[in-house]
Structure 1
Amino acid sequence: MVPAKIFILTGAGVSAESGLSTFRDKGGLWAEYRVEDVASLAGYERDPARVLEFYNLRRNSHRDVRPNPAHVALGQLQRAWAGRGGEVTICTQNIDHLHEAGGAENVIHMHGEIGKVRCHDCGDVTAADGELSLALGCGACGRIGGLRPHVVWFGETPLEMDTIYEKLAAADLFVSIGTSGAVYPAAGFVAAARSGDIETMEINLEPSENAFLFDAARYGKASEIVPAWAAELIGQM
């Protein structure tokens, strides 16, 4: 039976093939900084200039990346499903915009977006292409020096959780792509899906930490496995 509504969770494994590294990688930008110093509220309050410096480097590393075949395939799947009255919800733990660049729409960025800034005081969120600085002011409240990256740091609650659980509960199929299965609350989505008798599937380079919870799995490069899987689904419609 072809699922009418599909909920897809994506993680770092999807964007890794586009050249973006994560804090788990042994090399790269994260290896030069302590996570607690640059990816926590305490670190920001202690040394905001250092945090902004780090995220300016991250923003620069995102500028030239391009969507890979996995991003493009998910965008195609979403459009194909919508064209026949179905729905594909894409929820990502990634802060890049590669899903959108690959053609997806209404992507839920539960960990925020690298291309936006948020006022630490009033909470206003705006797009920002330039470098972050303590000299910048908030367009909403006017405060100088309070703009932080619009990303979820360790210890903070992910964004749009009510919408996520609503969409997940309404799905016929839950698919986790390129995730470690170690970061909560996202790692708990498969258990929530199983409790609602929703079919589950993992697509990953290798089994995740919670791989045993999935009904089905496919392993290999996301850029190869995801397009093949999406093509199969579209062919079944």
Structure 2
Amino acid sequence: MSTNTSSFIDPDLMKGVEVFRNILKKARAIIALTGAGVSAESGVPTFRGSGGLWRTYQATDLATPQAFRKDPVLVWQFYHYRRELVFSKSPNPAHEALARFEKECKSSGKQFTLITQNVDGLHQRAGSENVIELHGSLYKVRCTECNVISDNHNSPVCAGLAKETTSLDELPHCGRPGCGGLLRPHIVWFGESLEPEVIEKARKALDNCDCCLVVGTSSVVYPAAMFAPELARRLVPVAEFNIQTTPETGNFQFVFQGPAGETLPKVLNLNLST
């Protein structure tokens, strides 16, 4: 597949930008798939690779149901740290560009769906509304007994987690009458499957879309990694926005390389009604 690659290091806007803008103007249902690279530009760590340590623990080792069963206090302390860290961060120009673009789509009668692998809520804080969170949210909790999911934007999530050391009894528990079960972060951990209803919503959006933006994702975490390549095989125009190439870059029609906070605002700076 021929790929239009545009770099914003060069001050001249390359032809691929205008070609893609024309596609956006004609599209009726647009999807943006976002990953950790978007949040990284706000200073949110990805917790992957050599930098993925929290205290002396490999962060990915704590994000498992086995770790929670073994030491729920430790896992909750890790997620308390993550929540408080994100509370201190702000949406960046990439988040803001997508939120503005969604409003532009609405005013132009287009459908826009943002499917994210991120759990930090920065898209919503920027103003995005139609967001599908594939991997859950740091600001939702789920009861391990009754499975009820609820929002929790408290800082801290419970008083016990504000202390340096805490106990199981001081962790957040379900407030439903007759339950009182231990709450867990509503996050899809390693070894767990995505929620069927979330996958169904994402699939419906993917089936209906006629243009796709892939932003800040490494295209290696499944099932999200297969979404854009599937669209490309259906000849749906796909544009990748990333600081580096990914295993799927060659399958996409457009590639805008550089920080998403720089490339997205420039590419999406258009009036869809003209």
- Asked if TM exceeds 0.5, the reply is yes
1:140 aligned partner:
176
Does 2:185 correspond to 1:149?
yes
Any conservation in 1 of the 2:241–2:255 contact (CA below 8 Å)?
A: yes
Letter in 1 for 2:215: I
Any conservation in 1 of the 2:97–2:264 contact (CA below 8 Å)?
A: yes
Alignment partners' CA distance in 1, 2:255 and 2:248: 12
TM-score by length of 2: 0.80
1:173 aligned partner:
211
Does 2:72 correspond to 1:48?
yes
Greater RCO, 1 or 2 (C-alpha within 8 Å, sep 6+): 2
Question: Displacement, 1:35?
Answer: 4.0
1:196 aligned partner:
234
Any conservation in 2 of the 1:36–1:43 contact (CA below 8 Å)?
A: no
Alignment partners' CA distance in 2, 1:236 and 1:207: 32
Letter in 1 for 2:253: D
Pick one of 222, 226, 232 that aligns with 2:264.
226
Structure 1 vs Structure 2 CA RMSD: 1.9
* 1:1-237 matched pairs, under 5 angstroms: 1=23, 2-24=26-48, 26-27=50-51, 29-30=53-54, 32-35=56-59, 37-128=61-152, 129=154, 130-132=156-158, 134-135=168-169, 136-140=172-176, 142-159=178-195, 160-232=198-270, 234=271, 237=274
Alignment partners' CA distance in 2, 1:202 and 1:194: 11
Residues 139-186 of structure 1: per-residue CA shift (max 9 Å, x gap): 236444520001110111224001101101100111110001110001
Letter in 2 for 1:42: Q
Any conservation in 2 of the 1:118–1:148 contact (CA below 8 Å)?
A: yes
Instruction: Mark the CA change 1:31 to 1:90 in structure 2 (over 3 Å): closer, same or farther.
Output: farther
Give the percent of matched residue pairs that are identical in Structure 1 and Structure 2: 37
Letter in 2 for 1:172: D
Letter in 1 for 2:40: A
Runs of 4+ in 1 over 6 A off after TM superposition: none
Question: Displacement, 1:50?
Answer: 1.0
* Number of aligned residues: 236
Question: Displacement, 1:32?
Answer: 3.4
Q: Which has the larger radius of gyration?
A: 2
Instruction: Mark the CA change 1:140 to 1:107 in structure 2 (over 3 Å): closer, same or farther.
Output: same
Instruction: Structure 2: state its 5+ residue gaps.
Output: 1-22, 161-167
Instruction: Mark the CA change 1:193 to 1:172 in structure 2 (over 3 Å): closer, same or farther.
Output: same
Any conservation in 2 of the 1:119–1:146 contact (CA below 8 Å)?
A: yes
Alignment partners' CA distance in 2, 1:153 and 1:56: 16
